[in-house]
Amino acid sequence: MRLAGILGWGYHVPDHVLTNHDLAQMVDTSDDWIIARTGIRERRIAATTEATSDLATRAAEMALAQAQIAPSDIDLIIVATVTPDMAFPSTACLVQSNIGAFNAAAFDLSAACSGFIYGLKLAQSLVATGAIDNCLLIGAETLSRIVDFMDRSTCVLFGDGAGAVVIGPSQQHTLQTIIVGADGSGGHILRQPAGGSRNPATQETVALRQHFIHMDGQEVFKFAVSKVPEAAEGLLAKIGLQVEDIDWFIPHQANKRIIDAVIKRLGLSPQQTIVNLHKYGNVSNASIPIALAEAAAAGVFQSGERILLAGFGGGLTWGTGLLQW
Ligand code: ACO
């Protein structure tokens, strides 16, 4: 089996900034409430002319340039997203055409906010076995298209953006153990009720605002603060490492209070935890790759350091993995 590693990374966020003060003009909320309950100060919103594939393409181009890999050398493109441009063709196929990666197979991955970690697991396995050489893995979202800007309990949380990595055979920035899981019995906690085969779009589903994100925030909170530490502890136990062996932690950027509770339980420090949600909010599948790419570009990680990744989201799903830089 070959080692699989991250050869390049990139991210892209839209220019338009929506601040908490802007949101306070739209719904009954305040900057103080949003910061205290979530840690979020602002988020990026895609232009009306931009869709998920556009953000994904920009992030992908940056990752390919950084990896110095030609689009024609990509064997597989995976786009992890809950906001594809459309049900089909896949957003990954749109990206493939945009960047000219015509030797690549392409598909979208649906595992809600854990999708990027699921994608890492898949890419690692395919590269390690020699089934493919280079995989372009992208987490990309335009969540502003499925956020109800009349619902103050959800509209303050989410934003738009994309992060990408190129994964291939490498002795550097290697993907170590990755564990993913799901509990479908909790699917009702976080969902977009209409627009699929269960509730196709009708005037009624639109009138009932069922094409937006519906979430039981407190249940998601409880799930995250128990499952993420449990999964991370399980990963460390499996590979015989202690929490002291971890240099950096990149959690899914959903809520600062969730992150604080998770690191407290794991015994990690705020100084070793990468947090950017104050700038971008929760970008679902894009949150971990943006945080990774932003920190890597800033030179935060030193060679050999261990980086723990942890995602959770709708499904319910979760995933945790270890990178060695
Ligand atoms: N501004 C002002 N007040 C608000 C707002 C708002 N934006 N939203 C809710 N409130 C009010 C509620 O109406 C409620 O008022 P009441 O007491 O009069 O009924 C009060 O604030 C408290 O509401 P709670 O829901 O109890 O607030 P909580 O402290 O649980 O915070 C939050 C809500 C931020 C949504 C929290 O539950 C949370 O972060 N949950 C996890 C959400 C999450 O991570 N989702 C995504 C994960 S998966 C993925 O990424 C797709």
Using one digit for the tens of pLDDT, what is the confidence trace for 98-126?
999 999 999 999 999 999 999 999 999 99
20 touches 34 (CB < 8 A): yes
* Per-residue model confidence (pLDDT) at position 57: 98
User: pLDDT for 129-139, tens place per residue?
Assistant: 999 999 999 99
pTM of structure:
0.96
* Per-residue model confidence (pLDDT) at position 202: 98
User: pLDDT for 165-175, tens place per residue?
Assistant: 999 999 999 99
pLDDT tier at 186, thresholds 50, 70, 90: very high
- Among 37, 152, 192, 312, residue to substitute to test ligand 1 (most atoms within 8 Å of Cβ): 37
Residues above pLDDT 70, as percent of the chain:
100
User: pLDDT for 42-64, tens place per residue?
Assistant: 999 999 999 999 999 999 999 99
pLDDT tier at 150, thresholds 50, 70, 90: very high
- Among 220, 225, 318, residue to substitute to test ligand 1 (most atoms within 8 Å of Cβ): 220
* Per-residue model confidence (pLDDT) at position 322: 98
**Residue 1's CB: how many other CB atoms inside 10 A?**
9
Q: Taking phi first (over 0 means left), then psi (-120 to 50 degrees means alpha), and beta for anything else, what does residue 173 get?
A: left
Residue 29 CA: which ligand 1 atom is closest?
Answer: 1
Mean pLDDT to the nearest integer, 141-152 = 98
Please tell me the distance between residue 201's alpha carbon and the centre of ligand 1 in angstroms: 28
**Residue 193's CB: how many other CB atoms inside 10 A?**
16
Q: Is 252 a catalytic residue?
A: yes
Q: Is 135 a catalytic residue?
A: no
174 touches 321 (CB < 8 A): no
* Residue 311 tokens, joined: 């995602």
* Per-residue model confidence (pLDDT) at position 140: 98
* Per-residue model confidence (pLDDT) at position 85: 98
* Per-residue model confidence (pLDDT) at position 164: 98
Q: Which candidate, 221, 267, 247, places its Cα nearest to that of 323? A: 247
Active-site entry in 12, 20, 93, 113? 113
Please tell me the distance between residue 56's alpha carbon and the centre of ligand 1 in angstroms: 29
Q: Is 282 a catalytic residue?
A: yes
Check pocket membership of 255 for ligand 1, CB cut-off 6 A. Answer: yes
* Per-residue model confidence (pLDDT) at position 132: 98
Check pocket membership of 218 for ligand 1, CB cut-off 6 A. Answer: yes
User: What does the DSSP assignment read for 98-156?
Assistant: HHT-TT-EEEEE--GGGHHHHHHHHHHHHHHHTS-S-EEEEEEEEGGGT--TT-HHHHT
User: pLDDT for 189-220, tens place per residue?
Assistant: 999 999 999 999 999 999 999 999 999 999 99
Residue 252 CA: which ligand 1 atom is closest?
Answer: 50
Mean pLDDT to the nearest integer, 8-21 = 98
- What does the mean pLDDT of the chain come to? 97
Residues above pLDDT 90, as percent of the chain:
100
Mean pLDDT to the nearest integer, 262-289 = 98
